[in-house]
């Protein structure tokens, strides 16, 4: 596996592969790999001749007071895991090379970025869309793999790719969970033992909603109030949003249907966790 540190070197590598007629799949990440990341890498390996994993803690997608400085990092271990899971390249640039002095072009994906996490983290999806656009131009993938864990992010990327007419197939990979249902996340490392137990409330809420829907309940405001009450009853846990949306365009729904996705953000202690799920059995 090659470790590439600069945009020109990344571009040169991509050009060479394209000249050879070989395809590239990109897996953008912020590192501190867990099985969710590894599943994306393995999926990417099935889709193209070469996998490029990018590892970049993107400063412009963090708001003031968020966890940019303390975001968990372990480069050596990540490099080992990327190599074992089929990456041909680990692209790990410094922020100064991605955003050199004078950088001033950003990408805004309007409606899909509003509400949910976008409402709570202003500028977050602008940062995400901008860095992913830049990665697309440097890596020149035919395929890009993202996790459904970040459901709004996936919708933002799909919209951007369609709107800007990129010839890139975007694959959404199902959420990889711990045995007790907690969605894997680099941020789970922030949780104390008690918080880790409490953090299962997100998946339990999804399961509870599935039960109620199976029992015939369709009204989102009722479902929401049940889930809100259960989550809020836990000490040190606070629901930020619990919303039923259309899985395609993320518009809020009043009645559950086959296209519904439950999306939620919950603060467990000081750690903000997100999760989502379809409401019908057999889905993640
Ligand atoms: P991150 O490093 O957290 O920015 O995540 C990099 C990619 O991995 C994103 O596309 C995420 O949606 C995806 N991802 C993170 N956690 C999971 C998970 N538990 N299951 C599936 N994909 C995930």
What is the three-class DSSP state of 200? coil
Residues 97, 58: Cα–Cα separation, whole Å: 12
Q: Does the structure show a pLDDT above 80 at 102? A: yes
Question: How many A from CA of 42 to the centre of ligand 1?
Answer: 13
β-pair partners for 71? none
Distances (CA, A) of 259 to 29, 81, 210, 256: 28, 35, 14, 8
Mean pLDDT in the chain?
97
Per-residue confidence at 281, pLDDT binned at 50, 70, 90?
Answer: low
Beta strands in 167-209 (DSSP E): 169-173
**Quick one: what percent of the chain has pLDDT higher than 90?**
98
pLDDT in tens, 179-220: 999 999 999 999 999 999 999 999 999 999 999 999 999 999
Rounded mean pLDDT of 34-44?
98
Question: How many A from CA of 30 to the centre of ligand 1?
Answer: 9
Question: How many A from CA of 274 to the centre of ligand 1?
Answer: 11
Give the per-residue pLDDT at 66: 96
Residues 47, 171: Cα–Cα separation, whole Å: 10
Give the per-residue pLDDT at 283: 55
Among 151, 169, 152, 128, smallest CA distance to 284 is for 151
Structure-token match 């968020």, residue found: 66
How many H-runs (helices) and E-runs (strands) does the chain carry?
Answer: 11, 9
Residue bearing the CA closest to ligand 1, atom 13: 147
Q: Is 37 a catalytic residue?
A: yes
Catalytic residue among 34, 35, 37, 173: 37
Residues near ligand 1 (Cβ within 6 A):
29-30, 36-37, 39-40, 146-147, 149-150, 173, 175-176, 183-186
| Residue of 52, 149, 276 with the most ligand 1 atoms within 8 Å of its CB, for mutation | 149
Give the per-residue pLDDT at 280: 82
Among 238, 173, 166, 169, smallest CA distance to 201 is for 238
pLDDT in tens, 115-157: 999 999 999 999 999 999 999 999 999 999 999 999 999 999 9
Atom of ligand 1 nearest to the CA of 33: 2
Structure tokens at 168: 């890139």
């Amino acid at each position: 596996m090659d470790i590439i540190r600069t945009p020109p070197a990344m571009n040169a590598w991509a050009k060479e592969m394209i000249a050879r007629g070989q395809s590239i799949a990109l897996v953008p990440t912020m590192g501190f790999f867990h099985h969710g990341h590894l599943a994306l890498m393995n999926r990417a390996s099935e889709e193209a001749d070469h996998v490029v994993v990018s590892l970049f803690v993107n400063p412009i997608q963090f708001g003031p007071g968020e966890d940019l400085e303390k975001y968990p990092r372990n480069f050596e271990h990540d490099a080992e895991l990327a190599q074992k899971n089929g990456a041909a390249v680990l692209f790990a640039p410094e922020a100064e090379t991605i955003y050199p002095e004078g950088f001033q072009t950003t990408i805004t994906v309007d409606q899909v970025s509003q509400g949910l996490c976008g409402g709570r983290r202003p500028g977050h999806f602008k940062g995400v869309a901008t860095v992913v656009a830049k990665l697309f131009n440097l890596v020149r993938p035919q395929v890009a793999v993202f996790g459904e864990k970040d459901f709004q992010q996936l919708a933002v990327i799909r919209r951007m790719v369609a709107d800007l007419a990129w010839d890139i197939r975007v694959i959404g990979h199902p959420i990889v969970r711990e045995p007790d249902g907690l969605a894997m996340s680099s941020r789970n490392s922030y949780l104390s033992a008690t918080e880790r137990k409490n953090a299962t409330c997100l998946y339990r809420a999804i399961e509870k909603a599935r039960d109620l829907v199976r029992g015939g309940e369709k009204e989102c405001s009722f479902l929401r109030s049940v889930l809100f009450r259960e989550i809020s009853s836990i000490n040190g846990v606070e629901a930020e949003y619990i919303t039923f949306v259309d899985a395609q365009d993320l518009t809020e729904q009043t009645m559950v249907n086959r296209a519904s996705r439950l999306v939620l953000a919950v603060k467990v202690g000081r750690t903000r966790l997100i999760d989502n799920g379809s409401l019908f059995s057999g889905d993640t």
